[in-house]
């Protein structure tokens, strides 16, 4: 089963979302890391998402 953990760090202006997905690692990674895949599933039906850039480096 998928799990979501949300942590707010107001002092440092950070919102940390940890999501444990139930699925094949390669497809889960692509769903988040590939902007074209991400735009297709992110948000509720009828919602339009435009992803500009993903940077998975520390501090990115």
Q: Which sequence spans correspond to the domains of the chain? A: 23-53
- Segment 29-56, tens digit of pLDDT: 999 899 999 999 888 889 999 988 888 8
At residue 17, the pLDDT reads: 87
* Nearest by Cα to 5 from 17, 21, 23, 14: 17
**pLDDT number for residue 60:** 67
CA neighbor of 32 nearest in space, from 23, 41, 43: 41
> pTM for the complete prediction?
0.59
- For residues 49 and 58, give the distance between their C-alpha atoms in angstroms, rounded to a whole number: 24
Cα–Cα nearest to 38, from 24, 26, 50, 46: 50
Could you tell me which residues are beta bridge partners of residue 6? 17
């Amino acid at each position: 089963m998928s799990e979501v953990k949300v942590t707010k760090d107001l002092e440092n202006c950070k919102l940390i979302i940890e999501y444990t997905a139930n699925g094949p690692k390669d497809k889960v990674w692509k769903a988040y890391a590939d902007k074209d895949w991400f735009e297709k599933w992110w948000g509720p039906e009828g919602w339009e998402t435009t992803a500009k850039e993903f940077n998975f480096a520390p501090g990115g």
